[in-house]
Structure 1
Amino acid sequence: MEGLRGECLSFFEKGSHYVDHVERVVALAKRLAEFEGADVEVVEAAAWLHDAGRTAEDLGECEDHAVESARLAPELLRRAGFPEEKIAAVVKCVERHRYSKGLKAETIEEAVLQDADRLDALGAIGIYRAIKIGLQAGKPFYDASIKPAEVYAGNSKTTINHFHEKLFKLPDSMNTETGKRFALQRIRIMREFVRELECEWEGVA
């Protein structure tokens, strides 16, 4: 799998936060696969590949990084000597992993990859990622006058609203029992952070 790892990470610039994200998703996916009885080889390969098209999307070269990653996957897998009979399963996992598309997992391997990718948006790492991405986008961090939307429209107006509109809802989208358990552990950290921040911001704590 080392050859596939190198191929996938080569799509990102050195120091890109996507590299760290992909490596964490791989570790989470392997752990979930073991708990849930999924094919670890399929899950690990899909986790390495799932964001291969992300840079192309960021540059406006494709509309959907999940579709682009799935398009790239067969050739990368074959170059890495991956079993031919498992390639289709990996491609489906990659193509269907994206949260915003709302696709239901059809196999345990797809379920595991979706959960692993979503788990990396939660917990202490999730707080770090949300703040970093908000800063990069130039969003206000918090504004009490801007209330969170009831339905997430894909782009929150403030970083803290992103917690309310999307991140706090992720545990409900988990597919596996292990994923749900991990998500509930992580979401407690995030809720406490946001609750304390909002109190301190308003000078009531």
Structure 2
Amino acid sequence: MKHWEPLFVKKLEATDLGDDPAHDLAHFTRVVATAKALAADEGARIEVVAPAAWLHDLVNVPKNDPRRSQASRLSAEEALVFLRSIDYPEGLLPDIAHAIEAHSYSAGIEPRTLEARVVQDADRLDGLGAIGIARCFAVGGLMGVRFYDPQDPFAERRPWNDRENAIDHFHVKLFKTAESLKTAAGRREGARRAEFMRQYLDRLAIEIGGEIP
């Protein structure tokens, strides 16, 4: 990968990734690092995992865009064009494309290969834990969403609604992604990150309730 990865990074640096801090170059770097760790633990082919992780969000469609479910397919198509332009081994391209297409939560594509499961888990793990909390509020800010419902912060008398309240997104999606992880290593890490998020919500309840422990 020493020859290829600088080319992947250069491609991302030349790509307009938009103004979403949850999908900036740092996001790609974290996903790649996690994907490599999962691949080593699970025995996945790094020559498929690494390019798929680097290029998984090559076409970034905003969360509230009606084309959101197409983003991973568009990213896979763009990735194949790029990989062919740098003469990446042709025989690996179908599995790379599938791993990119299947990583998306909104696309609803079941990963058929170990490598696709690794990339999907790596991307979903980045939505959990401390970094997941930061990303949740960053995206909420971009979309004009308030932190929580001041009348009913934890949806005791209303349905969860992450279009209006950022912390509702924990329950609408993020805790569900922790339960959807496909690899054993991913599930272990997902459980740790989800527990941290629950602890955060417990602390938040104390602070917004005016309690001093």
Which residue does 2:114 correspond to in 1? 108
Counterpart selection for 1:92 from 87, 98, 123: 98
Cα RMSD over matched residues?
Answer: 2.3
Residues in 2 aligned to 1:19 and 1:149: alpha-carbon distance in whole angstroms: 35
Give 1:156 deviation, angstroms. 3.4
Pairs within 5 Å for 1:53-92: 53-54=59-60, 57-58=61-62, 64-92=70-98
Deviations for 1:25-83, whole angstroms, at most 9, x for unmatched residues? 111111111111111110000011110010xx249696521111011122211222311
Query: Measured at CA, do residues 94 and 14 of structure 1 come closer, stay the same or move farther in structure 2, by a change above 3 Å?
Result: closer
Map 1:1-205 → 2, pairs under 5 A = 1=4, 2-12=6-16, 17=21, 18-54=24-60, 57-58=61-62, 64-143=70-149, 144-145=151-152, 147=155, 149=159, 155-205=162-212
* Rounded Cα–Cα distance in structure 2 between residues aligned with 1:185 and 1:62: 32
Aligned counterparts of 1:10 and 1:3: Cα–Cα separation in 2? 11
Q: Percent identity?
A: 37
Amino acid at match of 2:122: A
Distance 1:13 1:110, change over 3 A: closer
The Cα of 1:142 is off from its aligned counterpart by 0.9
Equivalent pair of 1:4/1:76 in contact (CA under 8 Å): no
Q: Quick check: 2:121–2:181 contact (8 Å CA) kept in 1? A: yes
CA distance in 1, matches of 2:176, 2:13: 29
TM-score, reference length from structure 1? 0.88
Conserved? CA contact 1:12–1:19, under 8 Å: no
Superimposed CA distance per residue, residues 99-129 of structure 1 (whole angstroms, 9 cap, x where no aligned partner): 1222221100110010000000011111111
What runs of 5+ residues in structure 2 fail to find an aligned partner?
none
Q: Distance in 1 between matches of 2:42 and 2:159?
A: 35
CA spacing shift, 1:14–1:132, aligned 2, 3 Å: closer
Q: CA deviation at 1:14?
A: 8.7
Q: Secondary structure at the match of 2:106?
A: helix
Q: 8 Å contact 2:17–2:59 — kept in the other structure?
A: no
| Whole-angstrom CA distance in 2 between matches of 1:123 and 1:187 | 6
- The 1:52/1:61 distance shift into structure 2, 3 A limit, reads farther
Q: How many residues align?
A: 200
* Structure 1 unaligned blocks of 5 or more: none
For residue 112 of structure 1, what is the amino acid of its counterpart?
A: V
Relative distance call for 1:61 and 1:75 in structure 2 (3 A) is farther
Q: Matches of 1:29 and 1:172 in 2, distance apart?
A: 18
Give 1 or 2: higher helix fraction.
1
- Larger deviation, residues 113-122 vs 162-171: 162-171
